[in-house]
Amino acid sequence: MERTALKALALALICRPGSLSPEKVRALSAADWAQIFDWGQEHRFLPYLHYALKQAHLLELVPPDLSDQLQPLRRSMALRALAAKGDMVRVHQTLEDAGIAHVFLKGAYLAEFAYPEPSLRPLRDIDVLVARPEAIDAYERLQAAGFARDPYYTGHIEAYLEGSKHLPRLIAPDGRAAVELHVQLTESTRYSDAHRTLRAEAVLARAQSSRVAHHDIRFPTPEDMLVHLCVHAVYEHQFNIGPLILPDLHWLLATHSIDWKTVWADAAEQGVTRGVALVLRVLQQQWPGSLEGQPHDLLPLADVDDTVAHQAADMMLRSFAARNDVAILEGVQAKPTLAGKLSFVLSKAFPAPSELAKQFPRSPNSLAIVMCYPVLWRRLLQQRLPDLIANVRTEHNVAEATALSRISAWLAG
């Protein structure tokens, strides 16, 4: 099957499998199923695909060599979800004992309180938000509690504190889960540093407690959760977070009452109304029943360009491995002049010392940071450049970059 059509069908299998005829599903070739499973591995939606197909009585149409993988995977994800809950409680207890206010973000809450069962929402990381002035103390206390710094993140911690949304990733004592200690909700450059800090402070202040394993743990309000999910998907990751954003929103809406006036007021205050509307329009297209029961007079989705919404849906199955190269290609395409394109490329080779310090264990204020540029250039030439050249020559990556440019132009109004 042609790639775009197969992506559309994969989303239908996740969001609305009951609307598909058995004949249409039966027509998928072994290669088609193998590609869907590759996407599922890459974007962590195989447990949910198993659930959706089983609910729609379509599981028997999956080739046996692939379907046999799904039930054991669900069991494995159930065990991982249980371990992740234990790690979340351990993080909570460590920070609670230190008197450090904290809020767990996105998947940790959704898996526990929105989805039918936690195994359906695998976590890449356990994200926990703290106030910036308490972040280093919180980080050190988690390390003392057995969470070890991920050796992949070798940069200077102060550089992360000042220029990233989270500190270097920590690995849980059993080595299975990763923890990201956030000081802000997003790295999107559409916000000033002061605005990002105020957003984090507001989410911390409004957070609500829910009971997890005999602990009262704080999570964002449903409204803050919804807006954050949309901002995270659109402005920070350009939809390259996989199709789970759609079940995330579906189950959040199915299990919580949403104050839509608060959502749109918050979106307007952040300047992300178009982004939130776009994600909800994609949800409406892909999963028509998700917005049933919601007050449609408070859902200004009619102005969303349907072509842009379909392109955004297609972007949810982008290659996760090629995402950075596609972003570079889109960034180059977005510059209207040759000088602008050259300046964009040079910014990757000559990052500011504060950015360089996130890759190397050197203070951004030290003279030693200058010595890291040759190391960076060697790394770019030997590792990144060959991958970049290969990816920008791939037809569907070029098409993705072009589509992202159109989506970005629509978001800008």
Contacts for 51 with CB less than 8 Å, ≥ 6 apart:
74, 116, 120
In this prediction, residue 191 carries a pLDDT of: 62
Tokens representing residue 274 in the block: 């178009």
In this prediction, residue 164 carries a pLDDT of: 85
In this prediction, residue 384 carries a pLDDT of: 74
Residue 157 lies in a domain: yes
Residues 107 and 204 in one domain: yes
- Please report, for the domain that includes residue 124, its CATH number: 3.30.460.40
Residues 344 and 369 in one domain: yes
The range of the structural domain enclosing residue 306 comes to: 222-318
Question: For residue 307, how many other CB atoms are within 10 A of its CB?
Answer: 12
Cα–Cα distance for residue pair 91/114, rounded to 1 Å: 21
Residue 14 lies in a domain: yes
Cα–Cα distance for residue pair 160/150, rounded to 1 Å: 14
**Last residue within a domain, chosen from 284, 300, 318:** 318
Residues 258 and 380 in one domain: no
Amino acid found at 85: K
Residues 90 and 171 in one domain: yes
**Strand ranges, E, within 130-200:** 148-149, 170-171, 178-182
Residues 49 and 114 in one domain: no
pLDDT at 97 over 80: yes
Residue 158 pLDDT class (50, 70, 90 cuts): confident
Residue 103 lies in a domain: yes
Q: In this predicted model, what pLDDT tens digit does every residue of 67-87 receive, in sequence order? A: 999 989 989 999 999 999 999
Amino acid found at 348: K
pLDDT at 189 over 60: no
CA angle, residues 357, 359, 363, in degrees to nearest 5: 20
Pairing of strands 208-212, 215-219: antiparallel
- 11 contacts 287 by C-beta, under 8 angstroms: no
Type and span of the H or E element at 217: strand 215-219
Q: Which residue reads 């072009």 in tokens?
A: 402
Residue 68 lies in a domain: no
- 397 contacts 389 by C-beta, under 8 angstroms: no
Please report which residue ranges of 245-289 form alpha helices under DSSP H. 245-255, 260-270, 273-286
Please name which of 278, 107, 115, 280 lies closest in space to residue 177, comparing C-alpha atoms. Answer: 107
Please name which of 111, 134, 138, 101 lies closest in space to residue 51, comparing C-alpha atoms. Answer: 111
Residue 29 pLDDT class (50, 70, 90 cuts): very high
Q: Is 209 exposed, middle or buried (0-12, 13-18, 19+ CB in 10 A)?
A: exposed
Residues 24 and 96 in one domain: no
Residue 69 lies in a domain: no
More confident residue, 233 or 365: 233
Type and span of the H or E element at 126: strand 126-129
What's the farthest any 2 CA atoms get from each other in the chain? 66
- 174 contacts 135 by C-beta, under 8 angstroms: no
Residue 291 lies in a domain: yes
Residues 100 and 46 in one domain: no
Q: In this predicted model, what pLDDT tens digit does every residue of 306-359 receive, in sequence order? A: 999 999 999 999 877 766 766 777 777 777 787 877 777 777 778 888 888 888
Domain count, the chain: 4
Tokens representing residue 173 in the block: 């004592």
Residues 117 and 197 in one domain: yes
Residues 306 and 349 in one domain: no
Phi and psi of 25, rounded to 5°? -70, -40
Residues 214 and 88 in one domain: yes
Percentage of the chain surpassing pLDDT 70? 96
Q: In this predicted model, what pLDDT tens digit does every residue of 272-315 receive, in sequence order? A: 999 999 999 999 999 988 998 888 788 888 889 999 999 999 99
pLDDT at 404 over 80: yes
Phi and psi of 361, rounded to 5°? -75, 60
Cα–Cα distance for residue pair 227/233, rounded to 1 Å: 10
| Chain centre to alpha carbon of residue 308 | 20
Q: Which pTM was predicted? A: 0.88
Residue 411 lies in a domain: no
**Last residue within a domain, chosen from 220, 243, 275:** 220
**Last residue within a domain, chosen from 220, 248, 264:** 220
Residue 263 lies in a domain: yes
Residues 110 and 204 in one domain: yes
Residues 383 and 289 in one domain: no
Cα–Cα distance for residue pair 25/32, rounded to 1 Å: 10
- 171 contacts 187 by C-beta, under 8 angstroms: no
In this prediction, residue 188 carries a pLDDT of: 61
In this prediction, residue 331 carries a pLDDT of: 73
Q: Which residue reads 């360009």 in tokens?
A: 305
Could you give the C-alpha distances from 93 to 89, 141, 395, in angstroms and in order? 6, 11, 49
